């Protein structure tokens, strides 16, 4: 595991762990990464694996139960603490719809915020054909994750599927898409090109970003810059979903053959296509990976999802944003929830302010 990077990649849940490994492959080098799951079999493929909810779930997974996944993380997410040293930005990859992806991601984002580490979440949402329960699981937790993390990208799997894709193709495409977005951060920081974006600027940019959408295209040959812009403009992944763009981050990844005129074409095209109050551009110069090719990754953050300067809970950047007047109760790492500031009630070494069903490891039949 590479340990000197200021960024940490966290894969959560079985699919999240798989995506994190895919990110590592896409980056092509060792990447600072930890894999977190309730299912012990996820660790068999290697990597720095942390099994959570061990006593409660015995390594058998959360069984699609989002509460079980959340509780597992709540009691064991601190197991990743020794991996958080000197981390300035954490990127979480996961899949919503199941138990661990949705439940543990929420707790992980809260935990990172408590440590003052901004987090960016890339999460796929289920295919429609996966059924109402998984869709409901996904919808129910998205807002909460959005509230806990600094920046979120929710990627509907239905939008990633091509007309001729089989299941394996669709999932591979999902992994590739997530990897293209996630690796952008590593490339921007570790392989900067003509226009740099350092970790602190990236951290500041993402700290108040809120919900975003992103797309990546790779083209080659003559006119590749214009074609990249054209394909981005037609990308369903960047189609407006809930509001106008507040800010944009554009990364151009290329080899030594990148021309400044191409940078100008992409920057102008993206800015004109998507607008936004602020626009950050960075280039990556990686001959080994991009020789002859031009990849453009665009991240758009929507206005209204997070006010200027506001950040996720516990962030070093500011105080918690309240999404609604009567928000969902935050229980936090301690589990004491709304009693966290009250004198505790302890009986036989148990804190009775923590919900009984948690302390008794009761399974809830949802």
Partner 1 sequence: MNNIYAALELGTTRTVLAIGEAETGGRLKVTCHAETPSAGVRKSQILNIQDATQSIRSVLREIERKQEASGAKITIGNAFLVVSGQHVRADPFSAPVQVEGARVTAEDMEAAIRAAHSMPTSRDRELLDIVEQDYVLDSMGGIPSPKGMAGRLLRLNTLHVHGDRNRIQDARTAADAAHLEIRDPLFATTCAAEAVLEDHERKNGVLLIDLGGGSTGYAVYSDGYLAAMEVIGVGGDHVTNDIAHAFQTTNTQAEGLKIREASATVGGDDGASARVRVDPGENTLLDNRTISRRALNVVVNARLLELFTVIRERLEELDLVHRLHAGVVLVGGGARMRNIDALAEQAFGASVRPGRPIHVDGLDEEPFAPSYAAIAGALLYAHRNYEEKSILDGLLGRFFSR
Site residues for partner 1 per CB under 8 A: 67, 136, 139-141, 143-144, 324-329, 331, 335, 337-339, 341-345, 347, 352-353, 355-358, 360, 362, 364-366
Cβ proximity to partner 1: between 170 and 358 the closer is 358
Q: Hey, how many other C-beta atoms are within 10 angstroms of the C-beta on 129?
A: 8
Query: Which residue's CB is nearer to partner 1, number 3 or number 241?
Result: 241
Q: Name the region of 111 (left: φ>0; alpha: ψ -120 to 50; beta: rest).
A: alpha
Least Cβ distance, residue 98 to partner 1 (angstroms)? 16
Report helix angle 167-190 to 13-27, nearest 10.
Answer: 60
Instruction: Identify which of residues 56 and 173 has a Cβ nearer to partner 1 in the complex.
Output: 56
Residue 339, CA distances (Å) to 300, 321, 332, 345, 354 in order: 38, 20, 11, 10, 8
Choice between 222 and 360, CB closer to partner 1? 360
User: What is the smallest separation between the CB atom of 94 and partner 1, expressed in angstroms?
Assistant: 17
What are the two backbone dihedrals, phi and then psi, of residue 251, each rounded to the nearest 5 degrees?
-115, 130
Phi–psi pair at 63, nearest 5 degrees: 60, 30
Q: How far is the CB of 122 from partner 1 (least distance, A)?
A: 21
Which residue bears the tokens 């506001």?
A: 310
CA distance 5 to 21: 17
- Is 159 exposed, middle or buried, given 0-12, 13-18 or 19+ CB atoms closer than 10 A? middle
Least Å from the CB of residue 72 to partner 1: 14
Return the number of the residue (102 or 193) whose C-beta is nearest partner 1. Answer: 102
Least distance to partner 1 from the beta carbon of 63, Å? 14
At 214, list the tokens: 């992103």
3-state DSSP percent of the chain in helix, strand and coil, to 5: 40, 20, 35
Beta-bridged to residue 60, according to DSSP, are: 39
Question: Residue 4: helix, strand or coil by DSSP?
Answer: coil
Instruction: Tell me, letter by letter, the H, E, C secondary structure of 289-350.
Output: HHCCEEEEEEEEEECCCCCCCCECCCCCCCCECCCCCCCCCCCCCCCCHHHCCCCCCEECCE
> Which residue has tokens 């399974």?
363
At its nearest, how many Å lie between partner 1 and the CB of residue 161?
Answer: 25
Identify which of residues 226 and 352 has a Cβ nearer to partner 1 in the complex: 352
Choice between 44 and 348, CB closer to partner 1 = 348
Cβ 103 to partner 1, closest distance in Å? 10
Q: In angstroms, what is the minimal distance from the CB of 58 to partner 1?
A: 20
The residue (of 227 and 351) whose beta carbon lies closer to partner 1 is: 351
């Amino acid at each position: 595991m590479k340990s000197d990077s200021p960024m940490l990649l966290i894969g959560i849940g079985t699919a999240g762990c798989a995506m994190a490994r895919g990110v590592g492959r896409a980056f092509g080098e060792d990447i600072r990464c930890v894999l977190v799951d309730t299912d012990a079999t996820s660790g068999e493929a290697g990597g720095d694996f942390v099994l959570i909810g061990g006593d409660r779930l015995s390594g058998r997974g959360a069984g699609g139960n989002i509460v079980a996944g959340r509780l597992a993380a709540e009691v064991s997410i601190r197991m990743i603490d020794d991996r958080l040293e000197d981390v300035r930005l954490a990127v979480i990859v996961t899949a919503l719809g199941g138990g661990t992806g949705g439940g543990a991601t929420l707790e992980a984002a809260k935990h990172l915020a408590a440590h003052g580490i901004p987090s960016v979440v890339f999460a796929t949402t289920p295919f429609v054909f996966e059924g109402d329960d998984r869709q409901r699981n996904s919808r129910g937790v998205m807002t909460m994750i959005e509230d806990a993390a600094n920046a979120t990208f929710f990627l509907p799997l239905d939008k990633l599927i091509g007309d001729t894709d089989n299941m394996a193709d669709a999932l591979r495409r999902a992994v590739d898409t997530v990897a293209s977005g996630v690796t952008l951060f590593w490339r921007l920081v570790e392989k900067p090109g003509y226009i740099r974006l350092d970790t602190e600027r990236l951290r500041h940019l993402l700290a108040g970003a809120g919900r975003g959408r992103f797309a990546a295209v790779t083209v080659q040959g003559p006119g590749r810059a214009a074609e990249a812009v054209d394909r981005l403009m037609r990308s369903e992944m960047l189609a407006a979903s809930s509001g106008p763009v507040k800010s944009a981050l554009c990364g151009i990844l290329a080899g030594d053959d990148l021309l400044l005129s191409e940078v100008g074409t992409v920057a102008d095209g993206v800015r004109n296509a998507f607008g936004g109050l602020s626009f950050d551009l960075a280039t990556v110069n990686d001959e080994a990976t991009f020789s002859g090719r031009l990849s453009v990754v665009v991240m758009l953050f929507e206005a209204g999802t997070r006010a200027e300067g506001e950040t996720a809970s516990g962030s070093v950047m500011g105080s918690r944003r309240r999404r609604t007047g009567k928000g969902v109760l935050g229980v936090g790492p301690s589990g004491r929830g709304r009693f966290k500031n009250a004198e505790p009630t302890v009986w036989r070494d148990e804190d009775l302010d923590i919900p009984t069903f948690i302390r008794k490891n009761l399974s809830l039949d949802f």
